[in-house]
Structure 1
Amino acid sequence: MQCPIDGTELVMTERSGVEIDYCPQCRGVWLDRGELDKIIERSAAQMAPQAQAARPVYDEDHRDSGYRKKKKRGGFLDELFDF
């Protein structure tokens, strides 16, 4: 199958049990029927335990100023689209 944007041959790969087609040239991603639903379900399932355990993290040096240090968390979508 060819990329609808630039005509490059699409590459098919499987990420976390979901088959995706992507263009190595423009980095466009195309999903077949039902694949977006799988991504949404797995992302929601992974985020639910994290949301329950999430608490603000404060830097010790800025505790009095109300400064919040954010933690970067990789999620299902980060793993899926990391080519």
Structure 2
Amino acid sequence: MLCPVCEVALTMSERQGVEIDYCPQCRGVWLDRGELDKIIERSAAELSPRTPEPQPRGHDGGHGRHRGKHGGYRRKSWLSEIFD
């Protein structure tokens, strides 16, 4: 299938059970029927409340440069891995 924007062949990739088509030139992403629903379901499951795990404290008291606005570390979302 060709990219509807730049007419380059789309590349297929599978990430955590969701198959996506993307253009290597313009980086556009196209989803087939039902794939957006899978993404929404998995991101909702990932965002569900969990008991926070204790964070190890290093020599800087646990206040490294990668902390969020509340001092904790932010986990990388599986959704962000689709577009890396």
Which of the two has greater helix per residue?
A: 1
Q: Secondary structure at the match of 2:21?
A: strand
Report 1:1-83 matches (<5 A).
1-48=1-48, 51-53=49-51, 68-69=70-71, 71-82=73-84
Q: CA RMSD in A?
A: 2.6
TM-score, length-scaled by structure 2: 0.71
**Structure 1 portions without partners, runs of 5+:** 55-59, 61-66
Q: CA deviation at 1:78?
A: 1.1
What is the TM-score of this pair, normalised by structure 1?
Answer: 0.72
Unaligned 5+ runs, structure 2: 53-60, 62-68
What is the aligned residue count? Answer: 74
Q: Which structure is richer in relative contact order (CA contacts within 8 A, separation 6 or more)?
A: 1
CA distance in structure 2 between the partners assigned to 1:70 and 1:26 by the alignment: 35
**Structure 1 stretches of at least 4 aligned residues deviating more than 6 Å after TM superposition:** none
